[in-house]
């Protein structure tokens, strides 16, 4: 497996009516981020971009970049509905994604 490939692809819905896309790697995530409109680039975008770029130069773990990219997709409304699963802690309480 390529070191920049995600263990589980991130499924995104780019726009209503368009088919769901699967993002399999850091490189594909960076493609999505590069196409993101400048006027919508905020702190969550910057965190995702920095994490994905960091993974390409071995500063950030690939799965950390994946989680940060997934958080960006969730916050920006790109994350496909079937990816929106709340993670549970052992005590039964839900936890959010951190970036």
The pLDDT of residue 85 is: 65
Q: Please give the Cα distance from 12 to 28 (Å, whole number).
A: 12
The pLDDT of residue 4 is: 97
Tokens representing 73? 């997709």
Contact status, residue 11 vs residue 32, Cβ threshold 8 Å: no
Closest CA to 60 of 71, 50, 70, 69: 50
End-to-end C-alpha distance for the chain, whole angstroms: 25
The pLDDT of residue 42 is: 96
pTM to 2 decimal places = 0.83
* pLDDT tens figures, 52-94: 999 999 999 999 999 999 999 999 999 998 887 644 444 544 4
Q: Please give the Cα distance from 58 to 42 (Å, whole number).
A: 24
Burial class of residue 39, CB neighbours in 10 A (0-12, 13-18, 19+): exposed
């Amino acid at each position: 497996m390529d070191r920049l490939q995600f263990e589980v692809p991130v499924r995104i819905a780019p726009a209503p009516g368009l088919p769901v896309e699967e993002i399999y790697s850091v490189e594909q995530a960076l493609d999505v981020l590069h196409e993101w409109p400048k006027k919508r680039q905020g702190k969550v975008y910057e965190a995702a971009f920095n994490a994905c770029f960091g993974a390409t130069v071995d500063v950030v773990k690939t799965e950390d970049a994946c989680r940060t990219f997934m958080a960006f997709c969730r916050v920006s409304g790109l994350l496909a509905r079937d990816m929106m699963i709340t993670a549970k802690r052992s005590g039964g309480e839900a936890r959010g994604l951190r970036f």
